Amino acid sequence: MNVTQKIIAAHLVSGEMVAGGEIGLRIDQTLTQDATGTMAYLQFEAMGVDRVRTDLSVSYVDHNTLQMGFRNSDDHRFLRTVAQKYGVVFSPPGTGICHQLHLENFAKPGATLVGSDSHTPTAGGIGSLAMGAGGLSVALAMAGEPYFIAMPKVIKVQLEGKLTGWASAKDVILHLLGLLTVKGGVGKVFEYAGPGVATLSVPERAVITNMGAELGATTSLFPSDDKTRQFLAAMGREADWKELVADAGAAYDDVIVIDLSKLEPLAAQPHMPDRVVSVRELAGKKVDQVAIGSCTNSSYADMKSVAGLFGAAKVCPETDTLISPGSKQVLKMLAREGLVEPLLDAGARLLECSCGPCIGMGGSPVSAGVSVRTFNRNFEGRSGTKDADVYLVSPLTAAMVAIRGEFTDPATWGEAPAVPELPADVPSIRDLFIFPPADGSGVEVLRGPNIVPLEKFDGFGDSVTAQVLLKAGDDITTDHIMPAGAQITALRSNVPAISEHVFSRVDEGFVARAKACDNGIIVAGENYGQGSSREHAALAPRHLGVRAVIAKSLARIHRANLVNFGILPLILEDKADYDRFALGGKVTVPVAAVTAGGSVEITLEGAGSVAVKNDLTQKELDIIRAGGLLNYVRLSKTGAA
Ligand code: F3S
């Protein structure tokens, strides 16, 4: 077996290891960050489970760390107290970036990890099978439920040779992105192998697995070897080490060979991580801002090599240079070695140990500016400046750009510095985490006005009569259903408040109509619910009383979200019947007669009946009948409805 198969086999609770088939995995660890965590913990609370059932769950605060108004502070206090109550480790704001902290303090070879952040695969650098997931999946994993994925194909990335000159780990993953594109990894795990693996430290490996997320991959991972043991020993966690390597002759679905010695510094151009060119080709391009940090490139080695380059030079006065160390451990090591001073003296700005500019928390570039970043994403507008051009590079390249104020040919950079090694006595920051008490039952969860517990939705009786609240056309997106934007997403932990915005950009009367009746139905055209996986596009309509969606066809992820929140997704047998529904008309669905995958006649008041079908499994139907997944799990865990 390869490493991926070994970890899956050790955690398999359902399904077979055949590519494409659904498998259920036992999850050892979970992580959340604050932006997605508040809803994940509200969902966990709604399941009625008294304590997390994983080996370890950690709640990190790294996204919204700036205190603008009361909402962020309230969120942090809620996250701290809910963690105490249910047995979750809490990492306070400013301690560091979730993935960097998890790698340093908690990730283990051979463990399964799901996190409500897409760069959770960072822990693949240490040999965890680490996957990004939605908040509800993480809440379910905390409740001890399996995590379901399609059994991935396993791609072997054979690393030959070793990195030379100014090429670094970031250039390995940029090279792969240029080769495979941002769609090249869907349904796949990238498993690194070959003699080049031993030349890379764990933090370097984590750079590569972090940005494997940009390939669209299920995850990426490295074997656990002597380098892994050395890293864990430096972190004071040698006991967490175990060897984990592929068997000789292990089978893979495909093989990609990368000769590390042939790589040169690369850059992803605006506005996609796969628009990769060599830095050489960009020589002469003026740069307004350099930002060094993020969960991709904020390790001790990254920061130390930047400090080393700055020690001999100043940053260009026209290039605003921002540095965010990945954790307080990294910052403490820099301080101890006298490396903070060179950063400050060079003219760089030292930011908090958090996501910072990566999530648009400060550090937006100037209008129409060029920003060079060590981050993993350069989508248009993500920096907070709509017309800025963002390039993604390694820390070494970023430092040289900051010094020169423009891209230059690496051939003019002189001799490349060696990759810094971790010292033997790495300072621990373990006592900065807030560990939960053995019994949290007495802990009071503190909520501000913006944190509202999830309501318990009713399940279905034998039949439901509901009013047609909307006749939507084709290709309605989750953005139409539940618009985004800072003012609205700030309400994500307050379902009654966010529900006031359902369909607000396309139909101002929807919310009032929904409130005026007990039960509602949405009738829709083709591909209803396409676009992002936004859970609120199902949760908020359910809050407003929507019980069923009857469509010509449904987008896959939204359909799954409808099931999760207890809304019945039905498909018209005959698409022409769409015209027979009238806005405000009453529809009766004989829910008791609905069978998994079957067809049923629904009654339109004064207009006869219409045949609808569904593609639900029996379990999905049971979930809907129970009023959604949270009720379903509460029933199975506690026996109480
Ligand atoms: Fe944070 Fe950016 Fe990573 S938002 S978790 S540093 S991708």
The answer to whether the beta carbons of residues 110 and 224 sit under 8 Å apart is: yes
Close Cβ partners of 350 (under 8 Å, ≥ 6 residues apart): 323, 325, 340, 343, 344
Query: Distances in Å between the alpha carbon of 182 and those of 286, 556, 621?
Result: 27, 20, 35
Structure tokens at 83: 């963690």
Helices (H), 389-535: 395-404, 478-481, 486-489, 495-498, 510-515
The rounded distance, in Å, linking the Cα atoms of 171 and 189 is: 19
Nearest to 277 by CA among 410, 137, 431: 410
- 362 compared with 396, residue with greater pLDDT: 396
pLDDT tens, 454-489?
999 999 999 999 999 999 999 999 989 998 877 888
The answer to whether the beta carbons of residues 407 and 287 sit under 8 Å apart is: yes
pLDDT at residue 641, rounded to an integer: 59
Binning pLDDT at 50, 70 and 90, where does residue 67 land?
Answer: low
Q: Is the CB of 294 under 6 A from ligand 1?
A: yes
The answer to whether the beta carbons of residues 86 and 44 sit under 8 Å apart is: yes
AA identity, residue 594: V
Q: What atom of ligand 1 comes closest to residue 33's alpha carbon?
A: 5
Structure tokens at 409: 């040919």
| Widest distance between CA atoms in the chain | 83
3-state class (DSSP) for residue 549: strand
Q: Mean pLDDT across the stretch 547-554? A: 97
Output the CA angle 310-122-110, nearest 5 degrees: 135
Considering 11, 57, 59, 63, which one is annotated as catalytic? 63
Dihedral, CA of residue 172, residue 175, residue 176 and residue 180, to nearest 10: 180
556 given a catalytic annotation: no
The rounded distance, in Å, linking the Cα atoms of 130 and 128 is: 5
62 given a catalytic annotation: yes
Helices (H), 47-168: 70-86, 98-105, 135-142
Per the listing, tokens 């502070």 go with 73
The rounded distance, in Å, linking the Cα atoms of 118 and 61 is: 15
How many angstroms separate the alpha carbon of residue 618 from the centre of ligand 1? 38
Q: What atom of ligand 1 comes closest to residue 117's alpha carbon?
A: 5
Structure tokens at 333: 């090591």
116 given a catalytic annotation: no
Average per-residue pLDDT for the chain: 96
Phi then psi for 454, rounded to 5 degrees? -70, 140
Residue 490 has pLDDT above 90, yes or no: no
Residue to mutate (ligand 1; options 58, 117, 302; most atoms within 8 A of CB): 117
Q: Is the CB of 170 under 6 A from ligand 1?
A: no
Q: Is the CB of 358 under 6 A from ligand 1?
A: yes
pLDDT tens, 172-220?
999 999 999 998 998 999 999 999 999 999 999 999 999 999 999 999 9
Binning pLDDT at 50, 70 and 90, where does residue 532 land?
Answer: confident
The answer to whether the beta carbons of residues 508 and 452 sit under 8 Å apart is: no
Question: What size, in residues, is the chain?
Answer: 641
Structure tokens at 68: 């603008």
479 given a catalytic annotation: no
Domains of the chain with bracketed CATH: 3-262 (3.30.499.10), 266-411 (3.30.499.10), 464-638 (3.20.19.10)
Q: Is the dihedral of CA 572, 576, 582, 586 positive or negative?
A: negative
DSSP 246: P
Instruction: Please give the helix or strand (H or E) that residue 320 lies within, else none.
Output: strand 320-323
Q: Which residues is 259 bridged to in the sheet?
A: 160
pLDDT tens, 134-150?
899 999 999 999 999 99
The rounded distance, in Å, linking the Cα atoms of 35 and 449 is: 17
Per the listing, tokens 């069923």 go with 548
pLDDT at residue 557, rounded to an integer: 86
